[in-house]
Amino acid sequence: MISERLREKFNTAKHVCVLTGAGISAESGVPTFRGGGQTAVWKGMPFDEISSARMVRENLPEVWEWFDYRRGVLKDCEPNAAHFALAKWQDKFADFTLVTQNIDGLHAAAGSRGVVELHGNIQRAYCTNCEKRFDIRGKIPHAPDECDECGAKARPDVVLFGEMLPAGALFNAQSAAVNCDLFFVIGTSALVYPAAGLAELSKRAGAFLVEINPEETPMTGFCDEPIRARAGEILPLF
Ligand code: BJW
């Protein structure tokens, strides 16, 4: 399943960057967005409508209901073999960056350090006025609902459609993408930008590009080595 060519690249690479998406957590029981998962629609509303900047402005309580529901689902989810395999990679390479679009915190739970979270984290909230951050882990429904400093409403610390990504996270991800010699794109449909653009950026800067996904994506044809497999079955084999 892993070619000789890729083994050689993997064993000699010094700078490695990995981009993960919802698919890496699928084997932990976290529903994906576009794979027919059960959370793709919420009360008849497609997730790109409920997970949008507009909904935060127009109906924050409903946005919270959706996120608290998903935090409930996540409560019973543990990291899987793919998360654990990537946690080992951080000690194998001179320079290793793990970038994720996931908001579930499962990479950190598996022991990965310094994970670049492009789309935020579902276990945090922030004040819509002063941007104070709150750790809401274990609090379902979330608390506080209002900021203890300024009294404004709290919202999930998650990047929704139409919102900017955290500038520092995006900068770190782009730097790692252009400076690596091996780039893995794992478990993402590669449809959402700017995250999907990282793989393109990396390849254009000279990296060897590997995709791990049971399905084809718009990135597949652009990859040096597409691997049609589940992340949890292939990553422990490296
Ligand atoms: C397995 C597997 C197994 C299954 N093993 N694999 C350029 C062009 C066009 C549009 C845009 C553009 N630039 C920006 C945009 C707009 C928009 C966008 O990209 N739209 C496209 C959809 C058309 N982007 C944005 O709005 C972003 N902001 C932005 O660009 O700001 C600047 C700006 C501001 C104002 C106006 C314009 C620009 C923000 C994007 C934020 C995305 N947020 C979400 C929701 C988070 C909250 C929530 O959780 O509800 O993040 S969307 C959702 O998709 C979530 C994910 O992180 C993201 C990516 O999904 P992912 O991870 O790829 O999952 P799936 O489900 O799609 O795919 C799973 C894959 O796994 C599948 O391929 C399976 O086959 C595979 N799989 N089992 C391995 N075992």
- CATH number of this structure's domain 33-76+125-158: 3.30.1600.10
State residue 73's pLDDT score: 92
- 119 has catalytic annotation: yes
211 vs 42, higher pLDDT: 211
Nearest CA residue ID for atom 45, ligand 1 = 160
Both structure tokens of 217: 């994506």
Give residue limits of the domains in the chain.
Answer: 4-30+79-119+164-237, 33-76+125-158
Does residue 127 have a pLDDT over 60? yes
State residue 44's pLDDT score: 84
| Helices marked H in 13-114 | 47-50, 53-58, 60-74, 81-89, 106-109
Contact 93, 13 (CB under 8 A): yes
State residue 45's pLDDT score: 87
Fill in the DSSP letter of residue 146.
Answer: B
| 71-92 average pLDDT score | 96
State residue 172's pLDDT score: 98
State residue 48's pLDDT score: 87
Note the pTM of the prediction, 2 decimals: 0.96
Nearest CA residue ID for atom 32, ligand 1 = 164
Mean model confidence pLDDT for the chain: 95
82 vs 36, higher pLDDT: 82
| Residue to probe by mutation, ligand 1, list 65, 115, 163, 193, most atoms within 8 Å of CB | 193
Catalytic pick from 83, 107, 119, 142? Answer: 119
Q: Tell which residue, 40, 46, 96, 117, has the closest CA to residue 73.
A: 40
State residue 35's pLDDT score: 65
State residue 47's pLDDT score: 86
Distances (CA, A) of 64 to 49, 70, 119: 14, 10, 16
* 34: confidence class by pLDDT, cuts 50, 70, 90: confident
Lowest-pLDDT choice from 46-55, 140-149, 176-185 = 46-55
State residue 42's pLDDT score: 79
Measured between alpha carbons, how far is 84 from 235 in angstroms, rounded to an integer? Answer: 9
Fill in the DSSP letter of residue 183.
Answer: E
Going by C-beta distance under 8 Å and a sequence separation of 6 or more, which residues neighbour residue 57? none
Tell me: the pLDDT tens digits for 102-123? Answer: 999 999 999 999 999 999 999 9
Residue 174 belongs to what H/E stretch?
helix 167-179
Q: Measured from the CA of 33, which atom of ligand 1 is nearest?
A: 66
Contact 212, 235 (CB under 8 A): yes
Does residue 196 have a pLDDT over 70? yes
Residue 177 belongs to what H/E stretch?
helix 167-179
State residue 39's pLDDT score: 56
- CATH number of this structure's domain 4-30+79-119+164-237: 3.40.50.1220
Does residue 36 have a pLDDT over 60? no
Topology alike, domains 4-30+79-119+164-237 and 33-76+125-158: no
Compute the distance from residue 99 Cα to the ligand 1 centre, in Å.
14
Ligand 1 site residues, Cβ closer than 6 angstroms: 21-24, 26-27, 32-35, 47, 51, 101, 103, 119, 158-165, 187-189, 191-194, 212-215, 217, 230-232
**What SS3 state is found at 6?**
helix
Compute the distance from residue 142 Cα to the ligand 1 centre, in Å.
24
Tell me: the pLDDT tens digits for 88-102? Answer: 999 999 999 999 999
Q: Measured from the CA of 51, which atom of ligand 1 is nearest?
A: 50
Neighbours of 177 (CB within 10 A): 23
Measured between alpha carbons, how far is 82 from 186 in angstroms, rounded to an integer? Answer: 10
Going by C-beta distance under 8 Å and a sequence separation of 6 or more, which residues neighbour residue 237? 1, 2
